[in-house]
Structure 1
Amino acid sequence: MMQKVRWGILSTAKIGVEKVIPAMQQGTYSEVVAIASRSAGKAQEAAGALGIETSVSSYQELLDLAEVDAIYNPLPNHLHVDWSIKALQAGKHVLCEKPLGLNVADAQRLQEAAASHPKLKVMEAFMYRHHPRWRKVKELVDNGVVGTLQTVHSFFSYYNDDPDNIRNKPDIGGGSLMDIGCYCISVPRFIFGSEPTKVTGAMEVDPTLGIDRLTSGMLQFAGGTATFTCGTQMAPHQKVTIMGSEGKIKIPMPFNAPVDRPTTIVLTKGSETEEISFETCNQYTAQGDRFSKAVIEDTPVPTPLDDALANMKVVDAVVQSSNEEAWIQY
């Protein structure tokens, strides 16, 4: 039986080079063997810096490598679906960065391609889901520790007004909702364990860049609500608060959990507050290993594609709601 999945990386994207690749190289079941860039020099530089054996100067060349079992796709959002489909056609398993596509229709193309390659694994890379903190939070809520779940509030922001940055280009899937708002939608869906019944949203568009620089929304679930705000031209901040009838849970730095020190959640019930600590952990390492283990053991991936499509559906609904200034019913 294969002991490690051999990974190829599509592009020298910053998130891959700085975060995901070094983390996966620490994994038990993951081995990064190749990296591609449209620039041979960039590919060679990244491979040298990260100790990767093979570098190639085209994405297709990487897909054609026999020694690659799976690919990680951190390309710009508009290239997620096309290159993930090409990877499946080349017989490779796929871990694709979020959001899965530009919209539901785009993402459905990948779902259909995955269905026609049933032996290959495909998963959206929502790394936060693999951190032990979040699995503990889900367990606490499901076990009724905070009473009846009532509402989830998520906040995620940073400042980036660089017109050359891909996150500020609307035609390739830029903007705050696509980049970080998708986390604020994923979290309440995960915690409630269901889909919203209706959605509303308000988006503020940058008049020069054309991307949404500030988006707020509300999701109505059968058992409660979720509210969120995300922004790409404000002070950096991220926090999630989960409120129940008998208690609350706060998750500091919920998405970019530090990798060099233990992390915490804060559970409050009545007048008692408990800080629950978790050992130092890299959620990118955990994500790579959980996916790789699914490949090795031929078991379902931790987060199925249906979840990615459902998240994309809510993203689309927030956009539609903002455009129409109305609630969108499911």
Structure 2
Amino acid sequence: MKPVVWGVLSTSKIGLEQVIPAMLSSPLVELRAIASRSLPSAQAAARAAGIERAYGSYEELLADPAIEAVYNPLPNHLHVPLTLQAAAAGKHVLCEKPFALSVSEAQTVQMAASRVHIEEAFMVRHHPQWLRARELVRAGRIGTPRAVQVFFSYFNDDAANIRNQVTMGGGALYDIGCYAVLAGRYLFEAEPLRAVSLVDRDPVLGTDRTTSALLDYGAGRQVSFTVSTQSVPFQRVQVVGTKGRIELFIPFNATRNGQMRLALDEGGPLDGSGVTIETLPAADQYRLEVEAFSRRVREGVPPDASGLGDAVAQARVMDTLWQSECSGRWEPVAQD
């Protein structure tokens, strides 16, 4: 397969530390350009990574006729505007999560997705531990799935950090709560019917520093989660069924090219002596993500706006949780 020629919009931390190294390691990707609003920043990043071209504006990169696809890891409030600009320039777009800050914002991109490939970048969907967890659920190894429980936290109270700026889409729910929402949708392979949230906002920053939620999927299926930007770093996912449970130990920040472990408890003793630990193949979830996107671009499959339906459905749940914060009660999740 001829490599897809990529450009990166911004010198963000996730790009420099995670996605760019993944791109550079893949034979399916030719990373040719990086852009920043500061040309010196772009040039420094390009030198460090060995990227051929550096641009001092996003528009210059999007005007480069050699670039076929772009990775958009800009601050949350710029995801949709720059994705639309890239699509208008004929570029395919892999956009970081959360794809949009509202369902209406996400829907504005659907028409553009009929012309180029556009995808929300949830790398976890490509990791072997998540694929294995869903395989076990589908195979009935834990019986009928009843509950998914997620905890995800880190500590960052720096007011200058974009994750703590309300106007840029900062806060726990947008930054990491989106993973918890995805976990339920991915493992139940369904959409929630209603949701309720409890939000604690930082009195100075205004962002939600701790958010908990309960999602009702009907038929006795529930998702509960707590996410926090001001708690000790920790993450875990539990999937509990009528006959067993699955535990993911490092579900979201899996070590690059490291082996992850998954626990399968098929109803053994409470002391855990019957738990089976599976070791999953070493993988770089970011590389798997960009390679899967590159294959779609190169295989010539026509763009399909319905493919953005997942991002729209994800945004619907997030919108509902914000509505519940305001109302203080259960809110219905809009359905297609």
Q: Cα deviation per residue 1:175-201 (whole Å; 9 max; x = unaligned)?
A: 000000000000001110010011000
1:232 counterpart (202, 213, 229): 229
State the SS of the aligned residue for 1:156. Answer: strand
* Secondary structure at 1:179 match in 2: helix
* Conserved? CA contact 1:3–1:29, under 8 Å: yes
Q: Secondary structure at the match of 2:314?
A: helix
Aligned length: 326
SS of residue paired to 1:111: coil
Partner of 1:214: 210
What is the letter of the counterpart of residue 185 of structure 2? R
Deviations 1:112-160 (A, max 9, x none): 3223x2xx11100001111011111111101111100100001110000
Q: Secondary structure of the equivalent of 1:304?
A: helix
C-alpha separation in 1, matches of 2:106 and 2:201 = 24
Alpha-carbon distance between aligned partners in 1 of 2:65 and 2:295, rounded to the nearest angstrom: 20
Relative to structure 1, the CA distance from residue 301 to residue 183 in structure 2 (aligned partners, 3 Å threshold; closer, same or farther) is farther
Mapped partners of 1:189, 1:280: distance in 2: 25
Match of 2:283 in 1: 281
User: 1:297 and 2:277 equivalent?
Assistant: no
Equivalence map 1:82-93=2 (5 Å): 82-93=81-92
Instruction: Name the counterpart of 2:61.
Output: 62
Residue 181 of structure 1 is matched in structure 2 by 177
The equivalences for 1:118-129 within 5 A come to: 120-129=116-125
Provide the C-alpha distance between the structure 2 equivalents of 1:279 and 1:326, rounded to a whole number of angstroms. 43
Runs of at least 5 residues in structure 1 that lack an aligned partner in the other structure? none
Does residue 256 (structure 1) correspond to residue 259 (structure 2)? The answer is no
Deviates more, 1:300-309 or 1:21-30: 300-309
Gaps of 5+ in 2: 269-273
Q: Deviations over 1:71-117 (max 9, x none)?
A: 000000111001101101101000000001111111111123223x2
Q: What corresponds to 1:16 in structure 2?
A: 15
Question: Given the superposition, is the C-alpha separation of residues 12 and 201 from structure 1 closer, same or farther in structure 2, using an over 3 Å criterion?
Answer: same
Q: Which residue in 1 is equivalent to 2:324? A: 321
- Could you say which residue in structure 2 is the equivalent of 1:266? 263
Deviation at 1:279, TM superposition (A): 1.9
Q: RMSD between aligned alpha carbons?
A: 1.4
Once the 2 structures are TM-superposed, how far is the Cα of residue 261 of structure 1 from its aligned partner?
2.4
Matched, 1:310 2:313: yes
Counterpart of 1:54 in structure 2: which amino acid?
A: R
Distance (Å, rounded) in 1 between the aligned partners of 2:231 and 2:189: 31
| Equivalent AA in structure 2 for residue 36 of structure 1 | A
- With the length of structure 2 as denominator, give the TM-score of the two structures: 0.95
Q: 1:299 to 1:264 in 2, by over 3 A?
A: farther
Conservation of the 8 A alpha-carbon contact between 1:196 and 1:219? yes
> Aligned partners of 1:258, 1:314: CA distance in 2, in Å?
29
Is the Cα–Cα contact under 8 Å of residues 10 and 71 in structure 1 kept in the other structure? yes
**2:212 & 2:61 partners in 1: Cα distance?**
39
Distance 1:301 1:233, change over 3 A: farther
In the TM superposition, 1:51-200 aligns within 5 A as: 51-115=50-114, 117=115, 120-200=116-196
Distance 1:313 1:90 in 2: 28
Match of 1:202 in 2: 198
Query: Is residue 186–residue 311 contact of structure 1 (8 Å, CA) maintained in 2?
Result: yes
Separation (CA, whole Å) in 1 of partners of 2:178 and 2:263:
24
* Distance across 2 between alignment mates of 1:171 and 1:226: 28
Distance in structure 2 (CA, Å) of the matches to 1:25 and 1:199:
41
CA contact (8 A) 2:113 2:303 kept: no
Task: Among all aligned residue pairs of Structure 1 and Structure 2, give the percentage whose two residues are the same amino acid.
Answer: 45
Contact preservation (8 Å) 1:123, 1:301: no
